[in-house]
Amino acid sequence: MLRYAFSRALSLAVSLIVASVVIFAVIEVIPGDPASYMLGLNATPEAVDALRDQLGLNGSLVSRYLSWAGGMLTGDFGLSYTYKVPVADLVAQRLWVSLPLALYALALSTLIAFPVGLIAAARRGTVTDYGIMGATQLGIAVPNFWFAMLLVLVFAVNLRWFSAGGFPGWSDPGAAIKALTLPAVALALPQASILARVMRSALIETLGQDYIRTARAKGLSRRQATTRHALRNAMIPVLTIIGLQFSFLLAGAIIIENVFYLPGLGRLIFQGITQRDLIVVESLVMLLVFAVILVTFLVDLAYAAVDPRLRRRA
């Protein structure tokens, strides 16, 4: 087990290095000079060059990569070109929006998906099951940004129950949670649909297995068999999907954050790209990649702990 964990950790490190080189290289090719963007329309070339010097944009490629990657390791992500504040501060600030949003959406998605998946599995083959499966198909097919538009139209503009966007900060937790509600719902719908389907098929699969039949033969009702045995075993694939969805939600909220103008990580990346704040973009993408690779690593380890057969693959 230890050997397996070590070999996976090694490949984790290699992945991170490769990823950092790829990201740095891609960012370097992006056209658009941050200095001329910052100075605007009528800036003189001398002013732009002076600023490039100030920003350290005139060094060589390798030295810039090393100072960036080295800084990342020590938690120093550099200074944002546009805002002139440490990138780490910006990220920390934005994380207080993106992380709660991702958790909120995940909670909603799980809360919807569990009972729905359970009912569909229990009523397998009935009209209820078909209805639920049809609804989840629809949920997967709806683009979340369009769903968000419809939510704003109905709940913010017509009913005025929620604000149309923006984030008031955590000083008033009630208002903060309210501001995150519509975005979380928009994000959760497709995720809940996927999760409910996974839940249903995982349950059906375990329900068909021998030990469940044995339990049924021993006299447990179908419901008892489902809740006592099948649910626990069906959790493995369900939890994997939840893990994957979490990292997706953290990075993938980019468009939803734009629709609701939430100051989150996704919007920070988008702003960074349009304002040529490259240091913010490269550091953020790297962080997100790190988060995803880490989640995958942990899921792999958890699997190996459960299922010894997997360790041989390494």
Residues 265 to 284 in contact with other proteins, rule: CB under 8 A: 266-271, 273-276, 281
Cβ proximity to other proteins, 118 vs 253, nearer residue: 253
CB of 166 to other proteins, least distance (A): 6
Residue 36 interacts with other proteins (CB under 8 A)? yes
Task: Specify the stretch interacting with other proteins by CB under 8 A; choose among 50-58, 62-70, 99-107, 303-311.
Answer: 50-58
# of chain residues touching other proteins (CB under 8 A): 89
CB of 111 to other proteins, least distance (A): 21
Residue 211 interacts with other proteins (CB under 8 A)? no
Task: Specify the stretch interacting with other proteins by CB under 8 A; choose among 58-66, 68-76, 107-115, 149-157.
Answer: 149-157
CB of 219 to other proteins, least distance (A): 25
Cβ–Cβ contacts within 10 Å for residue 73, how many?
7
Which residues have C-beta within 8 Å of that of residue 15, sequence separation ≥ 6?
293
Cβ proximity to other proteins, 64 vs 218, nearer residue: 64
Residue 21 interacts with other proteins (CB under 8 A)? no
Which of 21, 30, 298, 306: binder of other proteins (CB under 8 A)? 30
Task: Specify the stretch interacting with other proteins by CB under 8 A; choose among 109-117, 156-164, 214-222, 223-231.
Answer: 156-164
Q: Which run of H or of E encompasses 193?
A: helix 173-207
Count of alpha carbons within 13 angstroms of residue 186, beta-carbon side: 30
Site for other proteins in 78-137 (CB under 8 A): 80, 82-85, 90, 93-94, 130, 137
Which residues have C-beta within 8 Å of that of residue 177, sequence separation ≥ 6?
104
Residue 196 interacts with other proteins (CB under 8 A)? no
Cβ–Cβ contacts within 10 Å for residue 127, how many?
8
Tokens 């039949």 correspond to 213
Residue 181 interacts with other proteins (CB under 8 A)? no
Cβ proximity to other proteins, 39 vs 57, nearer residue: 39
Query: In angstroms, rounded to a whole number, what is the distance separating the alpha carbons of residues 147 and 142?
Result: 7
Cβ proximity to other proteins, 227 vs 296, nearer residue: 296
CA distances from 74 to 67, 77, 97 (A): 11, 8, 24
CB of 130 to other proteins, least distance (A): 7
